[in-house]
Amino acid sequence: MPMTQIEQLLAIEAIKRLKASYFRFVDTKDWEAFASLFAEDVLFDISSGHFDCILHSPREILEVVTPRLRDCVTVHHGHCPEITITSDTTAEGVWAMEDKLRWAEGSDSPIRALHGYGHYHETYRKIGGEWRIQSMKLTRLRLDTEPWEAAG
């Protein structure tokens, strides 16, 4: 039985909110809540010109992302979601994004700061009544970095 129009609108709102939580939990470093937003078999691809990074589980995401963002103030903003419901338990979406990261003095980050722009290309799956991020791939429009020496 296909979704009604109202069920589709409710699903779109729920997915917008899922991604809003994604941004808020990463910036407030609520890591356990962050991990809970992903399907267990998630495909999380934040590769960029600077590095390859494809992760395959919520646990792996935490293991890789949290040390990178230690001693880092992050701001991640998402804009203009385009969400398409593809079945009663699957959906896909594109989000414009901007991220601004600044590491503290003494951090072992290779750069002092990063300011980027791009799009998240995502799929979602409803699991146990809750929408989760099934896959995420980031493409970049622009990525500006600031070396440590510029801080002097």
d(CA 150, CA 7): 52
The footprint of a second copy on residues 89-108 (CB under 8 A) is 94, 96, 98, 100, 102
d(CA 35, CA 130): 14
Which of 64, 68, 69, 81 touches a second copy by CB under 8 A?
81
Cross-sheet strand order for the sheet of 90-103: 54-55, 38-45, 130-146, 113-127, 90-103, 72-87
Minimum distance between the CB of residue 10 and a second copy, rounded to whole angstroms? 6
Backbone angles phi, psi at 102, to 5 degrees: -140, 120
Does 129 bind a second copy (CB under 8 A)? Our answer is no
Does 20 bind a second copy (CB under 8 A)? Our answer is yes
Contact residues toward a second copy (CB under 8 A) are 5-6, 9-10, 12-13, 16-17, 19-21, 23-24, 27-28, 73-75, 77-82, 94, 96, 98, 100, 102, 117, 119, 141-142
